[in-house]
Amino acid sequence: MVKKWGVNPHFQKKPEQLIFQAMFLHRFLVTSLCLGGVSIAGMLSFAVQAQSSYQRPVVIERPKEYKALIQRDPEQRLIELSTVIKNLVYDIRYATNQNFTGQPLYPLRTRVCYLRKPAAEALARVAKSLQQKGWGLKIFDAYRPFGVTEQFWKLIGDERYVANPAKGSGHNRGIAVDLTLIDLSTLQELDMGTGFDNFSDTAHHSFTGLSAQVLQNRKLLREEMIAQGFVPLETEWWHYSLPNGARFPLLNIPFKKVMR
Ligand SMILES: [Zn+2]
């Protein structure tokens, strides 16, 4: 994911709790309406709507538009990562229900993963450098069609956990990647202290209450990524993006429509 926790350190709610709360609120609204409590229900409904509504930004939706864009500027092309990186392992969580929403948001069995050309090339350099030391990369997510960010917002609607579609995200621009390190001899993940999409402060780079080995593993990934121009996100050890993403327009091109 892309957004950070709020500033209140006492805020402990997890996305599952929010989903539960949303379901609870929905049930409450239905009950209120049945009991004739229209004014309370109306107010609550308005509050929910105000939180989740947004102004849709400019997004490239049509494959034709995308094609014209990459013809004008080849740097804009989405590159399938396994075509430029050897030994890459994919664990595309949003194509399964093994993600924080508990449901698949990408087509099931998605086996492709894209980044804009400069990001894909930078990641290839990271992989090459790591390979010499016996380490490899496992990818959880990279380019994410804008429509999926809208779905996240519909489900969660809170900027502490998901990107506000009004702004879009580095994933929608194809310049952000969620990843971890693996041991190339076993393909096992290195211990990073938490799993992917863990929304507790344990996932923060500044969290030091972890074993020396975990801190070392995070440092290794961070240093290799930064060396190739990626910028870390303080609240998510797995998320990196290239800076100055605005030159890469937001995309809503489905995976199967991306030209290789
Ligand atoms: Zn991310």
For 250, residues 6+ apart whose C-beta sits below 8 A from its C-beta are: 57, 58, 59, 60, 146, 168, 172, 173
Domain boundaries in the chain?
12-53, 57-257
Cα 197 to ligand 1 centroid, rounded to whole Å: 8
Cα 177 to ligand 1 centroid, rounded to whole Å: 6
- Residue 236 annotated to the active site: yes
Cα 115 to ligand 1 centroid, rounded to whole Å: 12
pLDDT at 93 over 70: yes
171-190 per-position pLDDT tens digit: 999 999 999 999 999 999 99
Q: How confident is residue 32, by pLDDT bands cut at 50, 70 and 90?
A: very low
110-140 per-position pLDDT tens digit: 999 999 999 999 999 999 999 999 999 999 9
Specify the CATH number of the domain 57-257.
Answer: 3.30.1380.10
Cα 199 to ligand 1 centroid, rounded to whole Å: 12
For 188, residues 6+ apart whose C-beta sits below 8 A from its C-beta are: 182
pLDDT at 84 over 80: yes
Question: Residue 47: what pLDDT?
Answer: 43
Percent share of the chain, pLDDT over 70: 80
41-56 per-position pLDDT tens digit: 444 444 444 456 788 8
Question: Residue 208: what pLDDT?
Answer: 96
Residue type, 165: P
Residues with CB in 5 Å of ion ligand 1: 178, 239
